[in-house]
Amino acid sequence: MPRLTTIEPAQATGKAKEIFEGPLKGKHLNIFKGMANSPAGLQFYLGGSGALADASLSAAEQEVVQLVFAQANDCDYCQAAHTAMGKGAGLTEDQTVAARKQADLGDAKLTALTRFASAFHEKRGFVSDDDLAQFKAAGYDDGAVVEVIAVAAMASYTNWFNHVNQTAVDLPTPPAV
């Protein structure tokens, strides 16, 4: 049961109502209903997500980073959400599981991304020269490094939000790892 008030879109007022009727029209997930307690917090999420739409990392690559963080941070909600979003972005279900397990995704570049994102998480950003070199050797550049950090920031925000709120999962349960 969520610990924060659930803002139902039909009862939302002010800026929260504008967001539910605008960018979140038809996307009335429990995470957004909880975040709507602070339109600024909800706008932070939407702004970050919107900015990452222009990233050099593909949607599938961003989902790999999200899945690594969702698993590492033990966020059931984000594991479910990013499994569904990852499949929608072209990942196979096996690849979503492999990303969560930080295993081989059957694609050298995605596997390198998984390893870098995992090292970034485990080392709290203090990645080694070798971690960085291996990531770049897989074909990523400095811009991709920055984008992994940005996706990780968004993942951390949603993971931690869901921990505090105890957001009820309203998405299909992902496979166990």
DSSP letters of 20-70?
HHTTTTT---HHHHHHTT-HHHHHHHHHHHHHHTT-SS-HHHHHHHHHHHH
What is the value of pTM for the model shown?
0.95
- CA–centroid distance for 117 within its chain: 12
Instruction: Compute the distance between CA of residue 3 and CA of residue 164 in angstroms, rounded to an integer.
Output: 7
DSSP state of 97: H
pLDDT tens string 24-78: 999 999 999 999 999 999 999 999 999 999 999 999 999 999 999 999 999 999 9
C-beta of residue 43 within 8 angstroms of C-beta of residue 19 = yes
pLDDT tens string 93-117: 999 999 999 999 999 999 999 999 9
Q: Is 96 helix (H, G, I), strand (E, B) or coil?
A: helix
Looking at residues 7-18, what average pLDDT do you find?
Answer: 96
Q: Which CATH superfamily is domain 59-165 in?
A: AhpD-like (1.20.1290.10)
Looking at residues 124-128, what average pLDDT do you find?
Answer: 97
